[in-house]
Chain A
């Protein structure tokens, strides 16, 4: 009997039907809920679909029904939290994400959501801690986690946060290898922290590793200018132009390269003028 009931529910929700988009699934779940109004699992499923459909109010109503019906699990509270976050109520979102994490400390999606909430609340130090925890908890973290952590560390006013913004990026590179998005952010962090020599060092490594060197040269020239080293900046700008000129015609004449060339020449003229 139990199995049959479950079977029916799964059929009704479209699980066995390989068709259906989110909207169709919502319709199917709504029908199933009408038939089995006491099944809180169905409300949870529909709430998650409403979130995917960017309808946080409807999602909130379904997750609230789950809580009122004593369906207590991390999915429900994660859904509640995300609904409030969508509705721009980060305080409430934080309350419920903490419950979700109490119920399941290993829920990576909940950790990620908490980092986002804390950032919205401008509680950057805590946000940075959460993202750092996420980066170490996830087996295959994406670069965005390290970037989010670094950005949060950079905004964290506490003294012990000094250097953390760059360290987390370096940790990311040690785990994932040389990734330009992390290197580029590292340069930005070093410049923000006025660690120009280190920024130059990373930028030089970028130049060495990139096939298309024009933009990295241009960016290093900008760093040289921050350091007041006009001669090196000019050298790099000339190198940047040379790099463009050495490209195949189809590459050097794309709008992106033409624009870059104009920027380089313009900066060179300024320096020479």
Chain B
């Protein structure tokens, strides 16, 4: 459904005609120590060369006292000092600069050390104690136009914001600066951003203020851009297709017209082609659901990822819909994605997206019209792998050995046998990829701000599409819509209401109902062949990259859920898929690992890495499992290989020790055996074993919390003057058909000393004194 906001077109025009040099909400250095920042030799705080590295940093709006600040500064300061360093690569493009200041109560603005504008401040010298001329209104806005004083390269905009009086309770500061291009000079207003990548081609998109040719120089280093792609048709919305590229290769680039460079090359401006379909290549993807608020929530989530990923390349950014609130208009997209938001990442990572309901407010999937379809270029002819869908509403693509399906859960027909379903089935049938990942906006499982038990789109996607996906072995499904994070166990076969979910029957494998953490419950496992082949998928609702919204958060299919801001990081390398849920704080609050070992054959031998198990084999889910070890005593010696003492010392937790028939004599111990982990010593009824302390030693000491179970044994001649008898128990002693004969504490008969009072007796246990 398309809703047009015709009334707001004037805003679009006003907002986008100029190049943003300092966007609203930018990050600033600030100084709030109740005094003017000290000079550095002769360099003053507003100068370009001033070292502000010790100042605090935070996004605008900065200030205190109004509870609307993104960054709260010290309320004790009368004057706040702010600096923002930015780069102007081609300042000659601008005839003037438009400044817009949000202030409370007065401010002085400097560009590269020289005062250029004074707002609500008295004339003459200004110092820390100078008060504003009058009380401003809350978050007053002032605008002006100044001459272009920009320097090529680094510039600094410095602002001091003053109180009206010492008793004033608030300071507010925010700022934007836009360059007004000279007549006839083209500048980039959006982008560049990357689309429709495959192993041999890339689409580079950008927007200019004036119609120009589309031209990109590219090459293997920023100083060697030896190749050029161009389109001579003059336009403002540039969609440049670059082909004949090498697979999995990094190309640096610059954006040009025939006469001017619009974006200069540097080490961060590059694109990297995808691997050849089918090749095993590591993947890193950043997943953003419902990110479109365009505010500091989204920026904090962004910053957390930037800190997390560092210099590592991100192969793709997946937008899970609702990319621009409230209606997915072009203006909203500008602030939600392209301006002071993800623009630096989108220059070198490929953007993919599915349609959200808010995007759908201004877009129509059946006619592929509206901003969403204008802004993005997706493969509808199967040109990035997969089957042609004929529409950008739903499509597929490959990254090496990973196949991605993108569905439209908002507006396209969701019925079984509908065009999207039929395409999906053919696409799944035809892909040979090892990993299959699907995403759409409305989650199949959620009890967040939307319920998958009641909401139409959510129910239909689960009931109609999940059986299809599961039958083709899809591994991971990503969605947004609910403004929270919810992550399931490894599921299979649940299409009903949340009340019908049963962990025992709807999770897959030994570890499927666990955390998926390799370090505790174990990773999730999927079998590539055998009776459980392809079974199991993890479903993630991650719709909190821009906002949070509470809900019941009680879907029983979830291993983990949280109402918190964050995004997900997906990595795939060979047999292993990892997801991390990254909070805006930088903390990783959830993660799991999914393993699909291509070499696994259920029933075949494997190694579970545990030396305490034997007969390790893959189960039907390709989880490698061994049996607890059975250790054998083969002789009646006091010590040495084959002895009982040796078997106990090499035993693992939970082991059972048996006696071979070759043990026909009494086992005579010279000293007691310490039992430090749970073991069972198990003789058979047909071959009863006698252990003797030879009246010189106790037989066993059991450490605290440890359980020793004795079965069908005779303990004979144990003697110890203190804590005497055959056994000293500080842990748990379990006796099954065990006979105690002639055990002593010095001269006094005593079968055992039990200090922990934990004693379990099963069957017939006798104590004989003779």
Contact = CB atoms under 8 A, between A and B. Distances in A.
Contact of A141 (B367, B426, B456): B367
A75 B430 CA distance: 42
A158 interface: no
Interface stretch (A14-22, A87-95, A196-204, A264-272): A14-22
Interface string B13-38: 00000000000000000000000000
Contact of A253 (B7, B293, B534): B534
A151 to B, nearest CB: 11
Interface string B379-417: 011000001111111000000000000000000110000
Interface residues of B, number: 67
Contact of B422 (A20, A45, A184, A249): A184
A142 interface: yes
Contact of B533 (A143, A145, A250): A250
A179 B295 CA distance: 41
Contacts of A15: 5, 8, 326
Nearest to B408: A142
A52 B592 CA distance: 35
B357 A52 contact: yes
B533 A255 contact: yes
B336 interface: yes
A35 to B, nearest CB: 18
Nearest to B474: A254
A109 B364 contact: yes
B294 interface: yes
Dominant SS at the A interface? helix
A208 interface: no
Contact of B391 (A82, A142, A180, A259): A142
Nearest to B364: A109
Interface string A2-20: 0000100010001101111
A174 interface: no
A228 to B, nearest CB: 28
Given A25-B326, A140-B373, A52 B1 contact: yes
B179 interface: no
Contacts of B309: none
B456 to A, nearest CB: 7
B389 A143 contact: yes
Interface string B280-310: 0000000000001111000000000000000
Contacts of A184: 422, 426
A249 B336 CA distance: 44
Interface string A135-171: 0001111111101000000000000000000000000
B8 A10 contact: yes
Contacts of A25: 326
Given A18-B335, A19-B295, A180-B422, A253 B373 contact: no
Interface stretch (B142-150, B256-264, B465-473, B692-700): B465-473
A142 B530 contact: no
Interface string B347-374: 0000000000110010011111100010
A180 B533 contact: no
Interface string A84-109: 00000000000000000000000011
Contacts of B266: none
Given A108-B364, A108-B369, A177-B381, A212 B430 contact: yes
A20 B325 contact: yes
B12 interface: no
B13 to A, nearest CB: 15
Contact of B369 (A48, A140, A177, A251): A140
A93 to B, nearest CB: 15
B9 interface: no
Contact of B429 (A14, A17, A256): A256
Contacts of B390: 142-143, 172, 176-177, 179, 181-182
Contacts, number: 165
A250 B475 CA distance: 13
A6 B8 CA distance: 10
A195 interface: no
A210 interface: yes
Contacts of A14: 326
Interface in B148-195: none
Contact of B293 (A18, A41, A82, A180): A18
Given A19-B325, A112-B366, A142 B434 contact: no
B295 A18 contact: yes
A212 B2 contact: no
Nearest to A145: B366
A10 B423 CA distance: 41
A260 to B, nearest CB: 9
A273 interface: no
A181 B369 contact: no
B528 interface: yes
Contact of A112 (B293, B367, B389): B367
A75 B549 contact: no
A20 B2 CA distance: 18
A259 B456 CA distance: 29
A69 to B, nearest CB: 17
A247 interface: yes
A21 B455 CA distance: 15
A109 to B, nearest CB: 6
B619 interface: no
Nearest to A180: B426
A48 B549 CA distance: 23
B430 A259 contact: no
A207 interface: no
A250 B449 contact: no
B767 interface: no
Residue with the greatest number of chain B CB neighbours at <10 A, chosen from A17, A179, A210: A179
B413 A144 contact: yes
A51 interface: yes
B8 A52 contact: no
Contact of A52 (B361, B422, B432): B361
Contacts of B549: 21
A181 B422 contact: yes
A194 interface: no
Nearest to B391: A142
Nearest to B5: A15
Nearest to A179: B390
Given A140-B369, A142-B393, A147-B419, A18 B332 contact: yes
A134 to B, nearest CB: 8
Nearest to B365: A142
Contacts of B339: none
A259 B535 CA distance: 14
Contacts of B413: 144
Contacts of A45: 3
A263 interface: no
A249 B602 CA distance: 13
A254 B422 contact: no
A54 interface: yes
A251 B391 CA distance: 26
Contact of A142 (B7, B366, B429, B529): B366
Contact of A247 (B380, B393, B432): B432
B369 A138 contact: yes
Nearest to A141: B367
A253 B529 contact: yes
B441 interface: no
A143 B419 contact: yes
6 contacts: A18-B292, A22-B357, A48-B1, A52-B357, A142-B367, A250-B473
Given A18-B335, A112-B366, 4 more contacts: A19-B547, A45-B3, A108-B367, A172-B390
Interface of A: 6, 10, 14-15, 17-22, 25, 41, 45, 48, 51-52, 54, 75, 82, 108-109, 112, 134, 138-145, 147, 172, 176-182, 184, 210-212, 215, 247-251, 253-256, 258-259
The 5 closest A-B pairs by CB, nearest first: A250-B528, A140-B368, A253-B533, A256-B471, A138-B367
